[in-house]
Structure 1
Amino acid sequence: MEASILGLIYEEPQYGYQLEKTIEGWGMRNWTTIGFSSIYYVLKKLEKKELVSSKLEKVEGKPSRKVFTITDLGRETMAGKIRDLLSWNKKIISPIDLGLAYLNYLPPEEVINCLENYTESAQGRIKFLESSVKTQEELGAPYYVVALFSRPLATLKTEIAWVEEFIEKIKKEENL
């Protein structure tokens, strides 16, 4: 979460509400976990770590707002975070894994039904991601922005293929 906010401030100085609008505009909640209520908490943490600095900006007819700017230490820290994020495969915890761990508590027919529902729900996400890739390409977005939608799309398609193979394995093992 810190890297998400720090990256946005790296791009340009921003105030809290502006960060929320940028997060919405970029569709960031599709690929990062940051809630509106977390933004100010993270900003305080970044400022305490001296990764960002802030100054009050007066706006005519409105209350002053605190604008955050990345510091040199923040730039160094962000570069390190990017290197780490791009270099190492990290464990991803998926809720389906917990279901798989205990699927033997359900009848095989019900497990198959659940997995078919899972696949169906994933199809909706696939349509969204395909549409997002197409939109970003049509807008001439940089390749790395398109990648924010094409990578999860590829992952999801692979997962659906695995689920479909697993359903077939259950049917074979259970003689269904």
Structure 2
Amino acid sequence: MTEKSSTYAEIAVLALLAELPRYGYEIDAEVKNRGLHHWGKVAISSIYYLLGRLEKEGHVTFTYQKEGKYPTRKVYSITPAGRAFLETHLFNMLGSCSEPHRPMMGIAFIHVLPKEKALEALRRMQQRFVEMEEHYKRRVEETAHHSPFPTSRALLRLWGDNIEYMHLWLRRLYRELEAYPWPRWEEETSRRGFEKEETDE
């Protein structure tokens, strides 16, 4: 596992636990349901390894829960240190357009950030797209004078059009999220009834 893919996977696991405490198999299921194993570079086989590492780092903790006929199982939850780590990395991911996976992971879990921080991150991302649009427009003009064949200009225009479309998409997303009621994760955790006493391992 590379350092970058490991970071994506850590962020995904922490974000799922920031939503609410989960069993390990529930994290597996959410990774599959949300397609994180496809576009998010999250290997399903590494989930329990990541949980163990995040626990050692103080970002995740667990309690034991006994439910009906099922054996006692670990319920994982995020720690305050883990939440601070998560928010910092999500915010930074939303501010980076250097590679597609970074902002995608940030947007996928933007709802675990405080609303104002999430909207601020989207404003920063929009500004970055404005700068990128201007950059590619200049490059198309420069290439027109130096390239004897039209393919270079065509490729630059294609990339510039993609950036322009993404910028439009971001503006729509911003307006939608600005009007959207933000989740209250403490209430979700309480509703699931994961306030159990910890038992010895």
TM-score, normalised to structure 1, is: 0.51
Match for residue 22 of structure 1 among 30, 36, 40: 30
Aligned to 2:95: 87
Q: Is the 8 A contact 2:20 2:77 kept in 1?
A: yes
| Alpha-carbon distance between aligned partners in 1 of 2:86 and 2:99, rounded to the nearest angstrom | 21
Which residue type is aligned with residue 30 of structure 1?
Answer: H
Measured after TM superposition, the shift of residue 37 of structure 1 is 1.3
Q: Which residue of 2 aligns with 1:12?
A: 20
Q: Aligned partners of 1:89, 1:36: CA distance in 2, in Å?
A: 26
Partner of 2:69: 61
Offset from partner CA, 1:104-153 (integer Å, 9 cap, x none): xxxxxxxxxxxxxxxxxxxxxxxxxxxxxxxxxxxxxxxx55xxxxxxxx
The whole-number CA distance in structure 2 between the counterparts of 1:58 and 1:66 is: 9
Structure-2 separation of matches of 1:36 and 1:91: 22
Alignment partner, residue 34 of structure 1: 42
**Residues 121-132 of structure 1 correspond to what in structure 2 (within 5 A)?**
none
Q: Distance in 1 between the 2:96 and 2:35 partners?
A: 24
User: What is the letter of the counterpart of residue 17 of structure 1?
Assistant: Y
Amino acid at match of 1:11: E
Letter in 2 for 1:28: L
SS at match of 2:41: coil
CA distance in 1, matches of 2:56, 2:98: 27
Say which of 22, 46, 51 aligns to 2:54: 46
The higher relative CO (CA closer than 8 Å, separation ≥ 6) is in: 2
Q: CA deviation at 1:31?
A: 2.2
Between Structure 1 and Structure 2, how many residues are aligned? Answer: 100
Q: Which amino acid is 1:55 matched to? A: T
Q: Which residue of 2 aligns with 1:70?
A: 78
Deviation at 1:74, TM superposition (A): 0.9
- RMSD of aligned Cα (Å): 2.6
Distance 1:30 1:71, change over 3 A: same
Residue in 2 that maps onto 1:101: none
Equivalent pair of 2:31/2:44 in contact (CA under 8 Å): no
Shift of 1:85: 0.6
| Aligned residue in 2 for 1:132 | none
Residue 23 of structure 1 aligns to a residue whose secondary structure is: helix
- Superposed CA deviations along residues 3-47 of structure 1, whole A, max 9, x for unmatched, are 010000001101110101111222222321112210000001111
Gaps spanning 5+ residues in structure 2: where? 1-8, 102-106, 109-150, 156-201
Tell me, in whole angstroms, the C-alpha distance in 2 between the residues paired with 1:88 and 1:62: 44
**Secondary structure class of the residue paired with 2:93:** helix
Q: How does 1:153-164 map to 2 (within 5 A)?
A: none
**Other structure's SS at 1:63 match:** coil
Stretches of structure 1 that go unaligned for 5 or more consecutive residues are: 94-143, 146-164, 170-176
